[in-house]
């Protein structure tokens, strides 16, 4: 469980195949706060949004991320309300990936409705022709 020792930055994602693009996201997000909190998308939601189940289960993805030194805490998101975890953790900053679009359009309104003041930042892209999950999956399919 995360101790309340300083500013918190929150990052959301599936994190099915963790790569250097994710590490870049975590490093840049951590520049905004003392503690990095990762929210892992639930299997049910990943399948609904992406149309395919993740390769690794939500528990596997959560456990894997907990081994990364940059990460201070990892939680599973809500299956029903994608913004509920924000109310629970109350981060100071939410860092979005450069290409993150799901649930982003109503994020500021959801934060306001919760009565919270949270800075939303967008992390710039990293070498996207190599370090993007969809590109890695495409490459892996060519090997099969």
Buried b / exposed e across 122-144, counting CB within 10 Å, b at 16+?
ebeebeeeebbbeeeeeeeeeee
* Dist. CA 20–CA 33, nearest whole Å: 20
What would the pLDDT profile of 106-143 be if each residue is shown by its tens digit?
A: 999 999 999 999 999 999 987 656 555 555 455 445 66
* 50 is a catalytic site residue: yes
- Say how many domains are in the chain: 1
Q: Write down the pLDDT at residue 90.
A: 97
Give how far the C-alpha of residue 121 lies from the chain's centroid of Cα atoms, to the nearest Å. Answer: 13
Domain enclosing residue 40, as ranges: 8-143
Catalytic-residue membership of 7 = no
Of 50, 62, 90, 135, catalytic: 50
16 pLDDT above the threshold of 70 = yes
**91-115: average pLDDT:** 93
Residue 12 lies in a domain: yes
Give the active site residue among 7, 30, 44, 48: 48
Could you tell me if residue 2 is inside a domain?
Answer: no
What CATH number does the domain containing 60 carry? Answer: 3.40.50.620
78 in a structural domain = yes
pTM of the predicted protein model = 0.84
């Amino acid at each position: 469980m995360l101790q309340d020792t300083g500013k918190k930055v929150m990052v959301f994602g599936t994190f099915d195949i963790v790569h250097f693009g994710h590490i870049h996201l975590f490093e840049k997000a951590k520049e905004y706060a003392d503690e990095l909190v990762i929210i892992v998308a639930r299997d049910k939601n990943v399948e609904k949004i992406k149309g395919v189940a993740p390769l690794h289960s939500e528990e596997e993805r959560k456990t894997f991320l907990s081994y990364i030194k940059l990460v201070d805490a990892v939680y599973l998101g809500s299956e029903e309300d994608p913004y509920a975890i924000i109310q629970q953790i109350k981060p100071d900053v939410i860092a979005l990936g450069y290409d993150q679009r799901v649930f982003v359009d109503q994020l500021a309104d959801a934060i306001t409705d919760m009565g919270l003041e949270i800075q939303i930042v967008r992390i710039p892209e990293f070498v996207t022709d190599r370090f993007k999950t969809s590109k890695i999956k495409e490459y892996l399919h060519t090997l099969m």
